[in-house]
Structure 1
Amino acid sequence: MNKYKRLLLLTGVSLMMLNTGCSNITLTKNQKVEQAFEKHLSIYPVKNLEDFYDMEGFRDEEFEKNDKGTWVVSSYFSEKASKKEPLISRGLVLFINRNNKKVKGNYIVDKITPDLKGNQSVEYPVEMKNNKIIPIGNMPREIKEQIENYRFLVQDESIGDLSKLKRIKERYNEEMPLYTQTYELAKNNNINKWVQNKYSIDEKKAELYIEKSGELKGSSIGYLNFEISYNPRYKNHKYYSESVQYQPSKELD
């Protein structure tokens, strides 16, 4: 566990030096955004989800003095077979409370139809014990198996050095503030291969889209999430999305 704390600390110190002029390197806006993204994503991987109990993220005035915070880990996979077919999403959100060392959450299945009239959303409650995600109550066998076999990318892979990826585009709005960057992922990229294997996608290139709201230096009010997309501009669109956030527990009660 100490290695994660050291990694977060060292990353934060490095960014502080760069942002306060302690380095001779002048960073471009793109580099500053990339480094802010990498700081947030530097915890990947966390093999054991219960390790989040001992990890502390960025704290600000939104946290009460005695609040150890809650990690919110969520992901989902969405696919749309054609323009006329509904968008089907399946995913899991976990609330990992560091105060009571308990985990609650939901497995969520969404169906969004083109006319929006047939939209459906079903939530199945879950908990976590001994690093295993456990379904609660009655539910279809298929759903129960999907929950028991669920894994987050954060458990298995490192995001890596973003500067080594081919950046396709970027968009910044510092008034909101909102920062986004899109990269190309080769078909043999480690996180691309992870999604391909998990969701039975043919080997192909993908796009990595990262979005962050709030100040670059960090804020519990903001968020950062990323998507790995396949055929994003075509009718048979598929994408995987994941987010790991550190939030005040009072906001989640």
Structure 2
Amino acid sequence: MTFPTLDDLRAACRDLPAGDEAAAAAALARQAVLTKPPGSLGRLEDLAVWLARWQGRPIPKLDRVSIVVFAGNHGVAARGVSAFPIDVTAQMVANYAAGGAGINRLAETAGATLRVVPLELDRPTADFTKAPAMETADFLAAVSAGYEAVSPDDDLFAVGEMGIGNTTAAAALCAALLGGGATRWVGRGTGVDEHGLARKRDAVEAGLVRHAKLVGDEDRVAAVEGVGEQQDA
């Protein structure tokens, strides 16, 4: 499915399926008859009920698990907010393909398939301190790419993202949606020094000033377009 307009996307979001409460209740009841002390498996018990709710079966399964990592580049990286240049994003994508990253080992251990989806690495988002990070068409293209990456045959779909400058965009998006400013959300990311950390905070604050109308706004779509990244879409 693709989303030609924002109205199409919003309509799809309003029509999302609900979880199967009967399956969740059955999964919870089943735990009471298993040979184990109540609650002895801790968080695993909650996860089993959660899976039952969204898989629609009292006994969930994990026969087919997919991990998809979306990769994108960010115009704000030009402001020196990362310890590495944006060329490293493509190098990391190649490393994933060669099986050399930590996520490759985690996927192998979990028996999951891993796929990397590069999102127009040669076309970074705009520097959100100067303009909206994405035009609507680019945002919708990224959403559609994410939608198409999901297989209805998966028992569990796990999503990740990477790209030089990604934690700067993530910090700006969190600050816009949840408040708290740059100081609350900006960290060292790839391991920037004090000067890099200051540049990163300055970039986020500049983005929040430029897109002030997004701060505290309930329109999540506008926030992602303004200061987010393709992977967020």
Under a length normalisation based on structure 2, what TM-score does the superposition of the two structures give?
0.27
Structure with the bigger percentage of strand: 1
Larger radius of gyration: 2
Task: Report which structure shows greater RCO (CA 8 Å, sep ≥6).
Answer: 2
